[in-house]
Structure 1
Amino acid sequence: MKALCWEGVNKLAVEDVPEPELRNDQDVIAKVTAGTTCGSDLHLIGGYIPAMRAGDVIGHEFIGEVVETGPAVRRHRVGDRVVVSSFVGCGRCWYCANDLWSLCDNSNTNPGITQAMWGYEPGTVFGYSHAATGLRGSHAEYVRVPFADYGAFTIPEGVDDDSALFVSDSAPTGWMGADLGGVRPGDVVAVWGCGAVGQMAARAAMLLGAERVISIDRFPERLAMTREHIGSETIDYTETDVGAELRERTGGRGPDVCIEAVGMEAHSPGPEYAYDQVKQQLRLQTDRPTAVREAIYACRKAGSVFVLGVFGGVVDKFPLGAVMNKGLTLRGAQMHGQRYIPMLLERVAKGELSTRHLATHEVSLDDAPHAYDMFKNKKDDCVRAVIRPDGART
């Protein structure tokens, strides 16, 4: 079968790889009907995530059709149209039982690397290096889904493919930021990043009762999309001092909740960007924490900062003094998809949550390397490119 493979830093290729087979009795095999580019993949492509090997299949946000089931699968049948959580959870360990699915104790079968980096291993995610098991990704014609009764969800009638697709990862990630960030009715919420996850975090904050939501980015098309489809206020950080602007809009206090949805390759117009860029390229730090720093400084005293963007290791000039002396609550997590996906599918079906506008481009699997080039370099106003193994629709 065809699949999109990582072949080295900034090198992708569509290759022939063996079709997946059932390995455990709780697996299903799904025929992938659509996947999408994701900002987290750019960290893989750029060489910032360790333990990638030439030939690894990437991709983690997808929907598909069940074509084969293991003997212990109870909740799915051949022919089911499903959306699959990007993180895999066993459904039985302490973390899964407590709705902390991305921290599953049993899904990551290669824990040594992340134990050495972080002290403990998280769960596994599709197509995200051998530090996360090396499970094959979803930019392929078929994919094996472990623990399918817990990680795959039947798509309700009336929910179209493009809307369901972003409930695989972007929507639950954004919702988690607002939920675990502690958004309450009447709050003012600031969100760094107007990509898919940032937009979903902003919409989640509104649905959880925030009085005002302010989204921060620099790309005009993303800012316009966020205003039109999400309804939040926006700030172009290249045109103003973000901290001063947020204080002005909040009566001098600052946002109650700040959500960082940018990650380890954050950009800024100030001198700190050059500093972080040089240190990252020299591997003196692994990540650029520009947006996290700004969120910490901007948040009101005793407020909450939630880190949604992917970070891999260590950063420099982290404002720990601001966290402590301002009395901030600082949290972060990878996406607990199984906790949110059923609820989000219901909200999409009811029209409370719109996701399909995120699909700005569509390509066949053969053109997937071009899709990532558009996505990475923000060409043609690309917010997300949908990748269809059966070919792009005309």
Structure 2
Amino acid sequence: MRALTWHGKHDVRVDTVDDPEIINPRDAIIKVTSTAICGSDLHLYDGYIPTMKAGDILGHEFMGEVVETGPGSTLKKGQRVVVPFTISCGSCFHCSKHQYSACDNGLPADNQDIAQTAYGQPMAGLFGYSHMTGGYAGGQAEYVRVPFSDVGPIVIPDGVEDDKVLFLSDILPTGWMAAENAQIEPGDTVAVWGCGPVGLFSVQSAFLMGAERVIAIDHFPHRLELARRFGAETINFEETKTYDALMEMTGGIGPDACIDAVGLEAHGFFADNVWDQIKVSTFMATDRTHSIRQAILACRKGGRVSMPAVYGGFVDKFPLGAFMEKGLTLKTGQTHVQHYMPALLNAVMEGKIDTTFLISHRMPLEQAAEGYRMFHDKQNEVTKIVLKPGMVLA
């Protein structure tokens, strides 16, 4: 089959690789009909996530048709399913609490030591996202093996096009959980750093949860315009000092809740961010954390900070004093996708949530490498790329 493979920093290629096979009784094989490039994939593209190996198949946002099942799968051939990016067993202590991204059994035994060393405990497995998260082949491919297929995938009704439901795999539940973690109350003012896919779904979710005002922060004009379509006020951090603007917009109090949807590759010519970039380039640090620092400093006293954004390692200059003295609450984590998928599918089917607005480009799988370059270099124009394995080259 054909699949997009990683070969190093800014080097991804569509190669011919072995077809996936059933390994465990609960496995299923999915013929991929749509798969998307995620902002988190750019962290792999930029070489920030460790334990990648040449030839690894990328991609964790995908859906398709069931073509083969193991004897322990509950899926049936011919069903259309969306697959969550988290690989979770469904029966361990954490899964029983619907904390699917903390699953104890999602990682193969050979990979658990890597995560144990890095983070103290292993987490759930992830598709196409390094050997620290299981070394699983991803979904930017013609076919993919889905472990624990009796727990993860959600069956999609006939007649519903892929574009409406594809993002149930990751970014829609991630944006929703980000807003939920912000503990939004009716009348709240919520600030969202980053108007990428997760940030925009966080904006939409915050309003659905009762926020009176949402303030979206970015520097790409088109992405800020998308946020305004949902009713958000906006701040362009290249034109305005974000902290000063937030204080002015909230009467000096600060937002009730702040959501960091940027993560470890924060942009902007700020003193702390420049210093972070220097330290990262000299291997003295791993992450650029300007956005979460700014969120903590801007949030009102007693407020809540939600961090759906990806961070990979150790950071410095973390404003721990401000965090403690202001009495803030921080909630974060990989998304418990399986927990949110059923309700969000219903919301999409009822027209309460729009997802298709985000798609700016549809491309054949064979052009995936060009898609990565576009998404990396043209983030104002490119908001989301959907790859179609069956699509004919233009």
Give the alignment's TM-score, normalised by structure 2.
0.97
Q: How does 1:97-176 map to 2 (within 5 A)?
A: 97-109=96-108, 110-176=111-177
Corresponding residue of 1:278: 278
What's the offset of the Cα at 1:379?
5.8
**Which runs of 5 or more residues in structure 1 are unaligned?**
none
Q: How does 1:278-297 map to 2 (within 5 A)?
A: 278-297=278-297
* 8 Å Cα contact 1:6/1:13 also seen in 2: yes
From the superposition, tell whether residues 324 and 364 of structure 1 become closer, same or farther in structure 2 (CA, over 3 Å). same
From the superposition, tell whether residues 122 and 11 of structure 1 become closer, same or farther in structure 2 (CA, over 3 Å). same
* 8 Å Cα contact 2:33/2:390 also seen in 1: yes
From the superposition, tell whether residues 340 and 287 of structure 1 become closer, same or farther in structure 2 (CA, over 3 Å). same
Equivalent position amino acid for 1:111 in 2: Q
**Which runs of 5 or more residues in structure 2 are unaligned?**
none
Corresponding residue of 1:360: 360
Q: Distance in 2 between matches of 1:157 and 1:211?
A: 36
Corresponding residue of 1:90: 89
Q: Distance in 2 between matches of 1:196 and 1:384?
A: 7
What's the offset of the Cα at 1:157?
4.0
Aligned residues: 392
Deviations 1:126-168 (A, max 9, x none): 0000101100000000001111121100113453211111111
From the superposition, tell whether residues 319 and 133 of structure 1 become closer, same or farther in structure 2 (CA, over 3 Å). same
- Alignment of 1:319 with 2:324, yes or no, is no
Equivalent position amino acid for 2:155 in 1: T
Deviations 1:216-270 (A, max 9, x none): 1100011111212x32221111111111111211122111110000110011232
Q: How does 1:1-394 map to 2 (within 5 A)?
A: 1-74=1-74, 76-109=75-108, 110-228=111-229, 230-378=230-378, 381-391=381-391
SS at 2:174's partner residue? Answer: helix
* 8 Å Cα contact 1:158/1:349 also seen in 2: no
Q: Distance in 2 between matches of 1:315 and 1:82?
A: 38
What's the offset of the Cα at 1:271?
2.1
Equivalent position amino acid for 2:218 in 1: D
What's the offset of the Cα at 1:272?
2.0
SS at 2:4's partner residue? Answer: strand
* 8 Å Cα contact 1:362/1:392 also seen in 2: no
SS at 2:353's partner residue? Answer: coil
Identity %: 49
* 8 Å Cα contact 1:156/1:349 also seen in 2: no
Q: Distance in 2 between matches of 1:370 and 1:62?
A: 19
Deviations 1:47-75 (A, max 9, x none): 1111000000000001111111111112x
Q: Distance in 2 between matches of 1:380 and 1:179?
A: 27
Q: Distance in 2 between matches of 1:268 and 1:146?
A: 40
* 8 Å Cα contact 2:220/2:380 also seen in 1: no
SS at 1:354's partner residue? Answer: coil
Q: Distance in 2 between matches of 1:392 and 1:318?
A: 48
Equivalent position amino acid for 2:271 in 1: P
Equivalent position amino acid for 1:362 in 2: R
More deviation, 263-272/93-102: 263-272
Q: Distance in 1 between matches of 2:392 and 2:237?
A: 35
Deviations 1:64-93 (A, max 9, x none): 11111111112x211111111001110000
